[in-house]
Structure 1
Amino acid sequence: MSRRRIGQETLQLGSGPSRGRSSLDALAALIDWVPIARDLDVISCAAKGEPAWPPLALFKALLIAVWYDLSDIKLAEALDDRASFRRFCWFSGSEPTPERTAFVRFRKALAIHGLERTLFATITDQLAAKTITVKTGTLVDATIIESASKQDGEARWVGRRGKPAVHGFKAHVGADADTSLVEQIAVTSANVADSKAGPAAVPDDPGEVFADSAYRGRHFGDAVRAKGGTPRIAATSMWGRDEAETLARLDAWNRPIHRIRQRIEKIFGTWKRSYGLRRMRWRGMAKATLQIHLTAIAYNLKRAMAITTAA
């Protein structure tokens, strides 16, 4: 397949030209991009009759779009204009950069090949090796994301107590309890129960698994134990002869679970407030799955950088 050569005549996988360092330069140096380039090597999404852009450069551009909440048009404009964006994607200062349609084609190719899970695993494994020393626990929860359109036939309506119903999808997430790095993701339509899809969000050897009362029941608990973990699920009631004593036991059980479990809410807050995941950008389950995984990858990179910088 014919591909363009960028960045001083060749696509190099190291750091870019050293002109005014930025946070993107630190992110570029955080991991080894060679395995990611290898994962992407199956993709060629050029316009007819043109050489293809290097897929790693396009993938890095999509991460920039998540971090800065940019549409395809704004991403193309910013990549053409901002030196730090060019360095991160390894474009030299004078050469052309991809147009909006290149990102559309690339995203379609990612979804067709189902590469979002592979890329997420490749990057997250590297980040976990840098930040997680001893695995002690896992946070599991889900968040609802509104669909791009009410005509999206793969999204579903779901009611919420005291809030308007939402038409959309649901991201089921397992995150490390200590580092808050996202380790496992499952995406469903919004009407799938947390307890039903929850096992798919539990990584292997999860340690203690902290979840709210939506995950009560044998289905989730048995799945956690089968993966070598111990379920720590918030309770809504307990048996007892004395009401005051029973309520005290219920509070004693739930308080540490809620204290640890609430850390996952900060992950969802970052995704929605800072990374544009308040609603889906595109229609369909495949593209919803891709958007959520790209958001998780972008979040994990920033989170890992914060951890390693503070260490």
Structure 2
Amino acid sequence: MARRRIGQEDLIARPEPRAASSLSEIAALLDWSAIDRHLIDVSAAAKGEPGWPPLALFRSLLLATWHDLSDVRLAEALDDRASFRRFCGFAAHEATPERTAFVRFRRELVRRGLDRVLFEAVTRQLEGKGVTVRAGTIVDATLLPSASIRADADARWAGHRRRKPTHGYKAHVATDEAAGLVRAVEVATANVHDAAELAAVLPDEPGKVYADSAFAGRKAEDLIRARGGIPWTVGTGTWGGAEALARLQAHNAAVRRVRCRIEKVFGTWKRSYGRRRMRWLGLAKAGLQVRLAAMAYNLRRTLTLLRPAA
């Protein structure tokens, strides 16, 4: 397939703006050639036009996630901002992708199921940095409203005891207890129970598994033990009077002190990465959006963990 050639200028000798330095540090975290091997056959070209390098488009989607940019705003920023060009590999004088190139690229990622492949490839490399200490695992799920109630046929309704019902999807996530990196993520419709995807996200030898009361049933706890873990879930009731109740409350407080760390992941996704609401329609595209957010979060988090303490 015909593909455009882009060449990054030699910018090493030039002073880099402080705002752009973190992008350069993130770029140095990964062996991008290994990521590119998963994208080698992907073409996002319009008919009769050479295709943009898929690795540059993938990096562009990460930028869009970090900065909560629509396709139009991403195309404008990539054309205008030197740090964005540098991160994606475009020289100052070169043309950059138009909005529709990102649409076609996402469609190819979804069609080939590459969002899962890319997440696993990025996660493996980041785990190789030695920042993950496998002392325990936190599991939880969060609701993500769909882009449209009327047009999104895949989305489903889910009720909540204290909030309005949500029409959309649910991200099921497992994170490392100490480092807080997302180790696994699955996306289902909003009406799926929090523990339904536990088998898909729970790693082998997870250590203590911290979770809320939705994971306290026998089925979930048996699965945790079968994987070599120890269920450490919030309890909802006990028999035995005041003494037993005090023990339960102390146990729940200890679980919540650790379990709450996963809320930082969800908060970053929704507050900073625009995942308060899905941008695109359909379950498959919801999976791509969430895994992009997970990769973006893990890259930023790893950079923070590797930086020396001030």
* TM range, smaller chain: over 0.9
Q: Which amino acid aligns with 1:20?
A: E
Q: Which amino acid aligns with 2:189?
A: S
Q: CA deviation at 1:30?
A: 1.2
1:278 to 2:296 alignment: no
Question: Structure 1 residues 235 and 297 mapped into 2: Cα distance closer, same or farther (>3 Å)?
Answer: same
Query: Which of 246, 251, 255 is residue 248 of structure 1 equivalent to?
Result: 246
Question: Structure 1 residues 279 and 17 mapped into 2: Cα distance closer, same or farther (>3 Å)?
Answer: farther
Q: Which amino acid aligns with 1:271?
A: W
Q: What stretches of structure 1 of length at least 5 have no aligned partner?
A: none
Q: CA deviation at 1:226?
A: 1.9
Give distance in 1, aligned partners of 2:195 and 2:211: 10
Q: Which amino acid aligns with 2:146?
A: S
Q: For 1:4-32, what per-residue CA distance to the aligned partner results, in whole angstroms no more than 9, with x for missing partners?
A: 000159xxxx9978551521111111111
Please name the residue that 2:204 is paired with.
204
Q: Contact 1:15–1:25 (CA<8 Å) still a contact in 2?
A: no
Q: CA deviation at 1:220?
A: 1.2
Q: Contact 2:132–2:181 (CA<8 Å) still a contact in 1?
A: no
Q: For 1:247-298, what per-residue CA distance to the aligned partner results, in whole angstroms no more than 9, with x for missing partners?
A: 2111121111100000000110000000000010011010000000000000
Q: Contact 1:15–1:28 (CA<8 Å) still a contact in 2?
A: no
Q: What stretches of structure 2 of length at least 5 have no aligned partner?
A: none
Q: CA deviation at 1:104?
A: 0.3
Q: For 1:109-167, what per-residue CA distance to the aligned partner results, in whole angstroms no more than 9, with x for missing partners?
A: 00000001110011111111213354100000000000011121111001111211110
Question: Structure 1 residues 257 and 199 mapped into 2: Cα distance closer, same or farther (>3 Å)?
Answer: same
SS at match of 2:225: helix
Q: Which amino acid aligns with 2:76?
A: E
1:260 to 2:258 alignment: yes
- Normalising by structure 2, we get a TM-score of 0.95
1:291 to 2:294 alignment: no
Question: Structure 1 residues 162 and 131 mapped into 2: Cα distance closer, same or farther (>3 Å)?
Answer: same
Q: Contact 1:41–1:55 (CA<8 Å) still a contact in 2?
A: yes
Q: Contact 2:212–2:234 (CA<8 Å) still a contact in 1?
A: yes
Q: Which runs of structure 2 are paired with 1:37-48 in the superposition (5 Å)?
A: 37-48=36-47
Give distance in 2, aligned partners of 1:134 and 1:296: 18
Give distance in 1, aligned partners of 2:109 and 2:11: 25
Q: Which runs of structure 2 are paired with 1:110-121 in the superposition (5 Å)?
A: 110-121=109-120
Give distance in 2, aligned partners of 1:63 and 1:15: 22
Question: Structure 1 residues 74 and 253 mapped into 2: Cα distance closer, same or farther (>3 Å)?
Answer: same
Give distance in 1, aligned partners of 2:277 and 2:14: 37
Q: CA deviation at 1:219?
A: 1.8
1:20 to 2:16 alignment: yes
SS at match of 1:270: helix
Q: Which amino acid aligns with 1:194?
A: D
Give distance in 2, aligned partners of 1:102 and 1:146: 26
Give distance in 2, aligned partners of 1:130 and 1:175: 16
Give the % identical residues.
56
Give distance in 2, aligned partners of 1:30 and 1:17: 20
Please name the residue that 1:213 is paired with.
213
Give distance in 1, aligned partners of 2:107 and 2:15: 34
Please name the residue that 2:186 is paired with.
186
Q: For 1:66-106, what per-residue CA distance to the aligned partner results, in whole angstroms no more than 9, with x for missing partners?
A: 00000000000000000000000000000100000000000
Mean Cα deviation higher: 248-257 or 268-277: 248-257
Please name the residue that 1:54 is paired with.
53
1:233 to 2:233 alignment: yes
**Structure 1 ranges of 4+ moved more than 4 A:** 14-19
Q: CA deviation at 1:198?
A: 2.3
Q: Which runs of structure 2 are paired with 1:136-147 in the superposition (5 Å)?
A: 136-147=135-146
RMSD: 1.6
Give distance in 1, aligned partners of 2:297 and 2:8: 30
SS at match of 1:116: helix
Question: Structure 1 residues 192 and 150 mapped into 2: Cα distance closer, same or farther (>3 Å)?
Answer: same
SS at match of 1:235: coil
Give distance in 1, aligned partners of 2:228 and 2:76: 48
Please name the residue that 1:160 is paired with.
160
Q: Contact 1:195–1:219 (CA<8 Å) still a contact in 2?
A: no
